[in-house]
Chains A and B, each alone.
Chain A
Amino acid sequence: MIEAIRECLGQEMEADKRVVVIGEDVGVLGGVFRATDGLQARFGKERVVDMPLAEGVIVGSGIGLAMSGLRPVIELQFLGFGHQAFHQIGQQVARLRYRSQGRHSLPLVIRSPFGGGVRTPELHSDAFEAFYTHTPGLKVVAPATAYDAKGLLAAAMESDDPVLYLEPLKGYRLTKDEVPDERYTVPLGKLRVARAGTDVTLIAWSAAVNVAERAAEELFEQGISVEVLDLRSLNPLDIEGITESVVKTGRVAILHEAPLTGGFGSELIATIQQECFYNLEAPIIRITAPDTPYPLGGVEDLYIPDVDRVVAEVAALVKASA
């Protein structure tokens, strides 16, 4: 996946001189995960900038760069440090268009790895997507595959709205599906049916999609047919795509790495019960992290929902309402 992101950035920078990449360690080092490897050598220090270590000014000056006519792609080294920029993202990025009554567009992409499972040091691994989906004006996408990583990033860069583009820390190197060489886009707001099924809809995004798919495979052995939806984009949300699946299966399980309370799963449940209440055969379940801070790496496997847990909870859901 990381190669797909890098390739996309290179192609977009090649195609459009207005694209600049700014962030911590994005230059010579090519980013701590190498997403920008080689870009500074290709496009120069003016367009690939090692910023001072201050997320607030990285995002805030990105707003200004965009208003000056450039199309900045900002790398936040880890979403955990999005807090340091939240006054700019939540309060400013998301509402510049509205506050200027359409005068200013914000063609800005903030890329950031998030989520756990790779034993990072403390405070690096939280899945904070719900902070940002609760921020009207900001689009939020979270690819699970390398193909989508490339296509969604290109779409995000094309968009005249600010987009938070979330990269799965866990899937960075693990995900190795085929990616076409040429430029293409994957539209924002269209989910992907990662696996078709008939008994239950299992909704996930980002790194959790892989867990969902593996669980679905095991559940298949047990005679349960799971439809796995990879949301790809949390805002805009593909309500139609979700409804279509739920109407078919009548059961829903939502899987996310973030804590239960106030997680994006809550929003999905509210929406699904409104759209498909009479199609539901059982209460919707959530399989999530508990309502506690992301722990140190040594116990993170107990925190993040794993395949076994998904299998057990989805099987219980289906059996209870069979």
Chain B
Amino acid sequence: MSVSRFLPDFAPISPFSRLSESGILDSGASPMSDEAVIEALRYMMLTRVFDDKATSMQRQGRFGTFSSVRGQEASVVGAATALDPTKDWIVPQYREFPALIRHGYPIENFALYFMGNPKGGTIPPEVNMLPMQISLAAQIPQATGLAWGLKMQGGDGVVITFFGDGASSEGDFHESLNLAGIMKAPVIFFLQNNGWAISTPRENQTAARSFAERALGYGVEGVIVDGNDLLAVHEVTTQAVAKARAGGGPTLIESVTYRTGAHNTADDPTRYVDQQELEKWQQKDPVERIKNYLRSRGIWNETLEQEMLDSCAAQIDTAMEIARNTPLATSNAIFDHVYAEPPQRMLDQKSDWAHRNGGA
């Protein structure tokens, strides 16, 4: 009898894709209607406009440190558009602006959060999402429990959790995949492999050839997809959602993309990013790619693009105006919402604080 050996496999794999780099669809049917693609493109453009605006405000000291989505727009939007906001949940990291906005989180709240105003944390009651997570991977066990709980209570909602290649090195990721596999929890682990965790390259996170194949060790299905291809991301996520809804359990999706901007506004990537590699990925811009696809379908032109840009800019300006006009909280914002039933000791501190800082 021979020994069963599970050796790492290094045969090349290529991420699933539907569009060529120039935006030409393969011979199959599109997984998205033209209207759905245009709607998705609008979320991608909205993200660009927001990122540019927030970055320039940050430079002027009117916005906090934040991480742009640049380069990863198709990855985030392709995943988000596979969800039904009325019953599916998003458990985010911090680099998923368009997914949260599509799910119903107000842009002004997103902005307020990064302006450092506690009001930004407010999630409207009808929006199925957990707060953004800064502590890497901490959201992944929570997403797993949420999905498990939804299933236990007989609902057909599914949960998607976003995280990065870096976060996937944390124990929380591995423990969650293991549990989700055992419980057949309806959760999609959406790993955005953008090549970097601040300055740490993907090679320092795993010796495996892909992140997706780690799923195997936990009895979970893994998928690897071209994260700059909106149609492909949408298609594999839609499949994973359908499977989870039908009781088929979790999926780990590795979306292979690239962070073409800085890690965040405090980062200087020129210290560590290889310029040639960056340029190579800039050529694969996900927004250009989907526009080319629409052009190839004969339904995109300069006028439509300008109209879309203008409407995105107007939407972002309005939200930023609201955010800017929201007064920075009083000291009460430090004490409110800490407990359902606050201890008297803390309430005493609250009145001391209000008194000292000129009343609530």
A-to-B contact residues, CB < 8 Å: 24-25, 27-30, 32, 50-57, 80-81, 83-84, 119-124, 260-261, 290-293, 295-300, 302-303, 309, 312
Contacts and interface: CB of A to CB of B under 8 A. Distances in A.
Given A119-B65, A302-B357, A84 B338 contact: no
B218 interface: no
B280 interface: no
24 contacts: A24-B197, A24-B200, A25-B199, A28-B271, A29-B272, A54-B169, A54-B171, A57-B169, A57-B171, A80-B135, A81-B135, A83-B135, A84-B135, A84-B171, A122-B113, A122-B132, A122-B134, A261-B345, A290-B335, A290-B349, A292-B346, A298-B117, A299-B331, A299-B333
A29 B267 CA distance: 10
B65 A25 contact: no
A298 B338 contact: no
Given A261-B345, A296-B113, A298-B118, A290 B334 contact: yes
A213 to B, nearest CB: 22
B64 A297 contact: yes
A53 B170 contact: yes
A77 B336 CA distance: 29
B171 A28 contact: no
Contact of B204 (A32, A52, A120, A297): A52
Majority-rule SS of B interface residues? loop
A291 B204 contact: no
B169 A25 contact: no
B198 interface: yes
Interface of B: 64-66, 94, 113-118, 120-121, 132, 134-136, 138, 166-167, 169-172, 197-200, 204-206, 264, 266-267, 271-272, 328-331, 333-335, 338, 343, 345-346, 349-350, 353, 356-357
Contacts of A28: 199, 271-272
Contacts of B136: 53, 81, 84
B346 A302 contact: no
B353 A302 contact: yes
B64 A121 contact: yes
A122 B356 CA distance: 25
Contacts of A260: 349
A260 B206 CA distance: 42
Contact of B199 (A27, A119, A122, A293): A27
A261 B349 CA distance: 11
Given A52-B204, A293-B338, 20 more contacts: A24-B197, A28-B272, A29-B198, A50-B204, A52-B205, A57-B171, A84-B138, A119-B65, A121-B65, A121-B264, A122-B132, A260-B349, A261-B345, A290-B346, A291-B346, A292-B335, A296-B120, A296-B121, A297-B64, A299-B331
A56 B118 CA distance: 30
B116 to A, nearest CB: 3
Given A53-B170, A299-B334, A291 B349 contact: yes
B198 A32 contact: yes
Contacts of B357: 302
Nearest to B201: A50
Contacts, number: 127
Contacts of A296: 113, 116-118, 120-121
Given A28-B272, A52-B204, A54-B170, A120 B65 contact: yes
A312 B356 CA distance: 10
Nearest to B352: A290
Contacts of A83: 135
Contacts of A51: 200, 204
Contact of A123 (B118, B135, B346): B135
B116 A298 contact: yes
B116 A299 contact: yes
A55 B334 CA distance: 29
Contacts of A32: 198, 266-267
B320 to A, nearest CB: 15
Contacts of A56: 170-171
A295 B118 contact: yes
B193 to A, nearest CB: 13
B110 to A, nearest CB: 13
A226 B268 CA distance: 43
Contacts of B116: 119, 296-300
B217 to A, nearest CB: 16
Given A80-B135, A121-B65, A298-B328, A25 B200 contact: yes
Contact of B345 (A25, A52, A291, A312): A291
Contact of A29 (B65, B271, B335, B356): B271
Contacts of B94: 121
A30 B117 CA distance: 31
Contacts of A119: 64-65, 116
A134 B116 CA distance: 31
A29 B331 CA distance: 37
B109 to A, nearest CB: 12
Given A297-B116, A299-B334, A290 B353 contact: yes
A25 B205 CA distance: 12
B333 A295 contact: yes
B294 to A, nearest CB: 36
Contacts of B135: 80-81, 83-84, 123
A83 B172 CA distance: 12
Contacts of A124: 134
A261 B330 CA distance: 23
Contact of B334 (A27, A80, A297, A302): A302
A120 B265 CA distance: 11
Nearest to B67: A121
A54 B166 CA distance: 8
A270 B113 CA distance: 39
